[in-house]
């Protein structure tokens, strides 16, 4: 039996982000790292008897835009305000035939090509790294996108104001500020890992180009909504299942100063909390992320090494908000029974929620093969067990 709500969604989220105890744990669904694959969404709609014309939030991850009826059904407390592609950019998806297969290809603003075969339609993967053969000299002539193009922010202030004035929800930006990841997307992961050893100067030059884009982007974005939003989401994946993806020394010397610069720039433009996303066993790097100025860690991959909920909460209580970690997304959510999902949710909520500082969501996006009844169990348990005494 769930408790009784005494706060609006925004009041609940703000209490939580300031390490105070709300009426219940806030719930998130619908972001780019807390979203739902369109196939799982379609099955969930059928399970719940909800009708919606499925719209795509992110073609690369094949995420759906959850409808308001579903968000309200699951007591979701967050709504998102997104920038868009600039007017000069062709964001259409092209159909091409290769090796007797139909492919959907999308070229993003950085020139990275993402592709998905028609006979799979699960995700888009990178099919072209545009800087795979580039030199440092080539970077000066590469057509990096213009972060300050104001057309990408058209209409977002009006949308944010409408959410603030006419709804009770907390407001977040989608993820951005990917200073590190975009570099290897453009270069190729193997080539980039070689660069970190053989040509760190190339890494620094490319990082600086990407950093400039994000500095310009957030200057324009925060000018529009910095006084309205509650959370700014940024991130770079720094870790994998067993720990950091690359040398922590390289991170601290080369990557961290640039991440810190964008975080501090955003903080100079808004009082919103800074949410940071990295998958994997990132425990070793959490102190560095906090030194950069982050307030919130996502997705809290509790099944990775050294990511035990009770230990994380004990170590960082009143210092860091955890946003995610709601259910073991590798072993439990896709494969267990609904009752087992609910019990896993209960255990994790009880570990994270004491003293506030916890927002519930799944560990990353809900994947295509997760049964609808397990998704229902996930959010129903989050609501039932999320109330504070």
What is the tens place of the pLDDT at every residue in 275-323? 999 999 999 999 999 999 999 999 999 999 999 999 999 999 999 999 9
pLDDT at 387 over 90: yes
Instruction: Read off φ and ψ for residue 64, nearest 5 degrees.
Output: -90, 160
pLDDT at 108 over 80: yes
Cα 332 vs. chain centroid, distance in angstroms? 21
What's the CATH architecture for 9-87+133-385? Alpha-Beta Barrel (3.20)
What is the tens place of the pLDDT at every residue in 340-361? 999 999 999 999 999 999 999 9
The pLDDT assigned to 360 comes to 98
Cα 261 vs. chain centroid, distance in angstroms? 20
Res. 2 pLDDT band, cuts 50 70 90: confident
Dist CA 332 CA 334 (whole Å): 6
E strands of the chain, at which residues?
A: 56-58, 63-64, 78-80, 94-98, 101-107, 113-117, 125-128, 170-176, 231-235, 239-240, 243-244, 273-277, 296-298, 321-323, 358-359
What is the full DSSP assignment across 164-188? HHH---EEEEEEE--TTHHHHHHH-
pLDDT at 116 over 80: yes
The pLDDT assigned to 385 comes to 98
pLDDT at 77 over 90: yes
The pLDDT assigned to 289 comes to 98
Cα 56 vs. chain centroid, distance in angstroms? 16
The pLDDT assigned to 3 comes to 86
Encoded tokens for 307: 């990511």
- Asked if 191 and 129 count as a contact pair (C-beta separation under 8 A), the reply is yes
CA distances to 30, 237, 242, 308, 351 from 305, rounded to whole Å, are 27, 15, 5, 8, 17
Q: Which one, of 236, 181, 221, lies nearest residue 83 by Cα?
A: 221
Q: What is the pTM of this model?
A: 0.97
């Amino acid at each position: 039996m769930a408790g009784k709500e005494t706060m609006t969604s925004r009041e609940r989220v703000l209490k939580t982000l300031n390490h105070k105890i709300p009426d219940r744990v806030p719930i998130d669904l619908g972001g780019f790292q807390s979203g739902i694959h369109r196939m799982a969404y379609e099955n969930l709609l059928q399970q719940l008897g909800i009708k919606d014309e499925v719209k795509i939030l992110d073609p690369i991850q094949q995420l759906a835009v959850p409808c308001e009826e579903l968000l309200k059904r699951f007591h979701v407390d967050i709504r998102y305000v997104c920038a868009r592609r600039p007017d000069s950019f062709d964001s259409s998806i092209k159909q091409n035939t290769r090796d007797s297969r139909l492919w959907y290809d999308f070229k993003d603003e950085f020139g990275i090509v993402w592709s998905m075969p028609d006979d799979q339609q699960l995700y888009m993967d990178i099919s072209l790294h545009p800087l795979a053969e580039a030199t440092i000299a080539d970077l000066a002539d590469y057509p990096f996108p213009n972060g300050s193009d104001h057309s990408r922010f058209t209409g977002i202030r009006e949308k944010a104001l409408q959410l603030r004035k006419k709804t009770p929800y907390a407001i977040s930006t989608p993820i951005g500020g990917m200073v590190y990841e975009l570099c290897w997307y453009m270069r190729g992961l193997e080539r980039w890992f070689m660069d970190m050893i053989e040509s760190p100067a190339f890494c620094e030059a490319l990082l600086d180009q990407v950093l400039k884009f994000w500095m310009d982007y957030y200057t324009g974005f925060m000018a529009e909504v910095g006084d309205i939003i509650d959370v700014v989401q940024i991130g770079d994946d720094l870790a994998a299942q067993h720990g950091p993806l690359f040398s922590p020394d390289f991170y601290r010397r080369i990557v961290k100063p640039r991440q810190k610069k964008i975080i501090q720039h955003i903080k100079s433009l808004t009082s919103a909390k800074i949410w940071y996303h990295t998958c994997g066993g990132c425990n070793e790097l959490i102190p560095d992320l906090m030194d950069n100025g982050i307030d919130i860690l996502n997705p809290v991959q509790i099944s990775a090494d050294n990511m035990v909920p009770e230990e994380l909460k004990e170590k960082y209580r009143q210092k860091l908000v955890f946003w995610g970690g709601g259910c073991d997304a590798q072993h439990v959510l896709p494969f267990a029974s609904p009752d087992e999902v609910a019990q896993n949710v209960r255990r994790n909520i009880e570990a994270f929620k004491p003293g506030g500082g916890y927002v519930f969501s799944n560990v990353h996006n809900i994947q295509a093969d997760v049964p609808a009844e397990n998704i229902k169990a996930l959010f129903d348990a989050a609501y039932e067990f999320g109330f504070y005494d």
